[in-house]
Amino acid sequence: MHDSAPAYRAILKVHSKLRPGFGTEAAVYGTLLVSGLIAVSSVHSETKSVAVLITVIATVLVFWGAHVYAGTIARMSDPRSGPESEHIGLGEAFRESLKHSFGMLTSAAVPSLVLLAGTTRIIPDDIANDVALWSGVIILAILGYIAFLRRGSSQFVRIIGALATASFGLMFVALKAFVH
């Protein structure tokens, strides 16, 4: 990696600020969840983006709540490091789980804004549904690229990583096309 290159440092700086909500596996899972919901709930051309938006928001909130709960329970059984080896308390486990799970919520932001544009007729419904679905592919590509950038991988490997990560989103685009 070219540590001295200002563009790389700027990307890493922005990513470090966004990482708690964006650069986690929860963000990848959340993006895939949202993409799947959009693909399945918008398969009919008459499906309004408002229905897709409600489906996305409700489902993401339920999955996020379940993710926070599961993370809290799992963390409570983890011993603290140190001589006492006491277990992590409920409050600390909950806070850590919230922090770790935040990416699942943030991953729904861009597609939801696009769907909202469709519900308010800024853009047509069918276009909003398609753009929201493709936004997931772009988000996944960015997440993959940044993951390999943080590892110090070459530009070629970063691009391959971005394409590999984005391919999961492309599967939902193909699913929608196949079902439609």
DSSP labels for 36-70?
HHHHHHT-STT--HHHHHHHHHHHHHHHHHHHHHH
Could you tell me the mean pLDDT of each successive run of 10 residues in the chain, 180 residues long?
Answer: 62 62 80 93 77 94 95 85 72 92 90 95 91 96 88 94 96 86
Query: What does the block give as tokens for 23?
Result: 């650069």
pTM of the entire predicted model: 0.80
What is the structure's pLDDT at 149?
85
